[in-house]
Every structure is written in structure tokens, then in C-alpha cells.
Amino acid sequence: MNKTTMSYAQAAVHAVTQEMEADPNVVVLGEDVGRGGIFGQYKGLQERFGTRRVIDTPISEAAILGAGVGMALAGLRPVVEMRVVDFALCGMDELVNQAAKNRFMFGGQGRVPMVVRMPTGIWDASAAQHSQSLESWFAHLPGVVVVCPSTPQDNHGLLRAAMASGDPVVFMEHKTLWGLQGEVDTSLQIPLGRARIVRAGGHVTVVSWSKQVQACEVACQALAASGIEVELIDLRTIWPWDRDAVLSSCGRTGHLLVVHEAVQAAGFGAEVAATAAEATGCRVRRLGAPRIPVGYAPVLEAQSRVSADDVVAAVRAFLQ
């Protein structure tokens, strides 16, 4: 066991460093990675591993993702940086029609062991084109794994698992979690598809992921003060997601509330809720953002946020 306190960004740097030291085929490419990335998530890597393995690219998401797919098919293990998920939309063909489908279309002769890092979520005062939560888009795409870590520990462990998976992984770190401090065991292996039980409870199951887990934790504390015990589950991996943990919990509580920062309409919460209702017969509710662009002005941005108070109100109304 090797525990130390580090930030969400430092945990990512450490994870990539470990993999690059262990395997010379691991390379990093993207805009600004040479200077450490816009969030510091590659800090010091180019100085350590050189420009042939930490590669600054032109400003073209299609070219970056296309190069990553080619590298992966040729035997490398690329970590591809998209800066923010909003920019990745310029390279969707390379991900959707090439990376995701290659293994299937060529009968397993080729694989794309590529990690595409797409920082996600509301970025304070950054408006509609820099604040989207699009995990449900990629969960809908056969052939990719989708990961949304909420803590420094998970950012470390899940990033290493993603890099070792052998398949394309959409790795979605929240844009405002980079400075979050936490204890990280750098030897801990965290498998993809395994949820984290944040706290146990018997009245209602709340399922969430990414930064929204923090708001849910605050809500759980407030609810516990009034005698309502919530079982909070951090899904961690959106696809594959931990059905066993969720179904076991809501089968016991009889109530499931899925909370996410993404727009509620057609969000991944609908998949979790429908699966739980079909499998266990529990009552289900969803809580997500309204179907509006994220505004720049603070008062408008606030309309797209799902706060701890919103979670408390939803749980109370649910149990009445």
C-alpha cells in the first residue's frame, strides 16, 4: 500500500507516468500536452519522456483522434487529449465510425487500445460551448467504455484500468475537479464496471457519478440529520455500469433516485432507472438539468446546476 495526498490532476499525472514507465508503447498526444495540459493533468511528462512520447499536435480534433486510432492499430497505446468534451465533437467520426467499430468489423484482427480524455461538465463561467455533460452520447455507442471518476483515487485507479483495457475508452474527468485533494493509494487496482458504495442506508438508493456525487454527499448528510438514511452509490463507470450493486441496493430500499449533472431528458439516468424498475419493481425517479444550454451569467448558469438542496427536496418528495 502506497498512500499519499494528491489532487485529482496530480493523480492523473501519476497514473500516466506509471503506465509510461511500464510500457514504452504508451504515448500521449493532444493540444498543450507539452506544457502540462490546460488543467495540469500532464505536468512534467514531456520533460520526463520527451517529445516523441508526449506529442503536441495541431489544433484539429479530427486529426488528433485519427492519429490516435492509427497509432493504436499499429501497436501503440495512445492517450488522446481533447481538452474538453465539447471540442471532441469535431472528431466524432474517428471515434464513432473507426475506433468503436474496428474490432467488430474486422473480426478481432485489429484492436484500438486508446484512451480519449474528454473533460466534462459545467466549467464555471464558461458558457454553453464549454460546459456540456455528454456521457449518455458515448454510453449509447457500442464498442467503447465510458468512465466518469469523482475522486482523486478513482481518477488514478480508473485511468490505469482504462489504459490497460485494450479497447477504446472515453475517459471523462470533470472540468472543475482538478484541484480536489484526496488520499490516493497508487497501488490500488480499481476494475472498470465496479461502483463505489459511498455510504450505506436503508430508506432510498441514490445513484450518481462524477462531480454530482459531491452534491449528493452533502444532501445525504442533511437527510440523515432528519432520520432519512440514503444509500449513495457512485457509479464510476457509465459503461459497463454496475447493475449488481444498483439492483441489490434498490431491491432492498424499494426506492431509486438517479442524479446527474447532464440534461435529464435522455440522460443515462433513464437507463439506470428503467433497468432497476424492470428488474426489481422499485419506485424510480430522475433528477438532472433542464434541457437548456448552460448560460454564461451566474444566474443563468445556476439554472443548469443540480444542487444538494435539489437532491434533498427530491428525496423528501419521493418518500412522502
Residue 255, CA distances (Å) to 51, 152, 233, 280, 315 in order: 52, 30, 13, 10, 9
pLDDT confidence band for 224 (50 / 70 / 90): very high
Catalytic residue ranges? 130
Amino acid identity at 24: P
- Per-residue pLDDT of 238-271, as tens digits, reads 999 999 999 999 999 999 999 999 999 999 999 9
Residue 122: CA atoms inside 13 Å, Cβ hemisphere, count? 25
Residue 95 is classified by DSSP as I
Is residue 8 within 8 A of residue 178, CB to CB? The reply is: yes
Over the stretch 137-169, which tens digit does the pLDDT of each residue have? 999 999 999 999 999 999 999 999 999 999 999
Which runs of consecutive H residues, i.e. helices, occur in the chain?
Answer: 8-22, 45-49, 61-73, 85-88, 92-93, 102-105, 135-139, 152-164, 212-225, 243-253, 268-280, 298-301, 308-319
d(CA 281, CA 304): 30
pLDDT of residue 2: 79
Cell of 248: 441489490
- Work out whether the CA dihedral 305, 310, 311, 317 comes out positive or negative: negative
User: Which domains are delineated in the chain?
Assistant: 3-185 (3.40.50.970), 196-319 (3.40.50.920)
- Separation between Cα atoms, residue 255 and residue 232, nearest integer Å: 12
pLDDT at position 271, please?
98
CA 226 to chain centre: 32
